[in-house]
Amino acid sequence: MSLLIYQGLTSEEITNLELKDIDLENGTIYIKASNTLNRRTLELLNKQILPLSKYIEEVRQKMLRCNTDKLILNKLGKPISVDGIHSIIEPLKTLFPDRKLNPQTIRMSVICNWLNEKKYDLVKVQELAGHKWPGTTEKYIRVDVNAERELINRYFPLI
C-alpha cells in the first residue's frame, strides 16, 4: 500500500519489482521502464524503510513458496499479480464509499497532490510519475477558478 500512496506506483510497476530494486541503505527504489512510463529511482520515506526491511528479511522468507526474485508475494507465497493488488484494496472501498478506490485512482490522487498541494514543479512531478511527456503530467493540474476569474476581471473588466 505504501508504494501506491507515497511513490504513486502503478499496479504493474509493483508486480515487476524485484529484490534488487530496493536499496534500503540509500533509501531508494528503482522502477523499471515500461511501454508507457520511464524508468526512475525514487526515494523511500523513512517510515517505509523499516517495514520493508522486516518484510524482506523475515516475512517474505517465511511466505516464499517458489523460486522468485519478485519483491511482493501474495498469501500463497508466489509473486503478486495486478488482480492481487486490486484485491488488497477491495476491502478498503467501504471506508471511502463516495470515491472510486483502485490503484489507478490512488496514483492519480498522489500525482494531483504533488502538483496542487505540495506545489512540486511540473518537471519534478513528471520524473516522479515516470511520465514520458509533460502533457501527461499537466492533465493533473487543478485550475483555481476564482484566481482565474480575478485575473480576467482585473485585466479585462466588464464595464
Give the other-Cβ count within 10 Å of 16's Cβ: 17
The string of pLDDT tens digits covering residues 89-127 is: 999 999 888 889 999 999 999 999 999 999 999 999 999
CATH number of 101's domain: 1.10.443.10
Which of 90, 61, 62, 66 is CA-nearest to residue 79? Answer: 66
Is 81:74 a contact under the CB 8 Å cutoff? yes
Hey, which bits of the chain come out as E strands? 22-23, 28-31, 40-43
Residue 159 confidence (pLDDT): 63
Q: How many domains does the chain have?
A: 1
Single pTM value for the model? 0.86
Instruction: Provide the domain limits for residue 35.
Output: 2-155
Q: Which residue has the higher pLDDT, 118 or 146?
A: 118
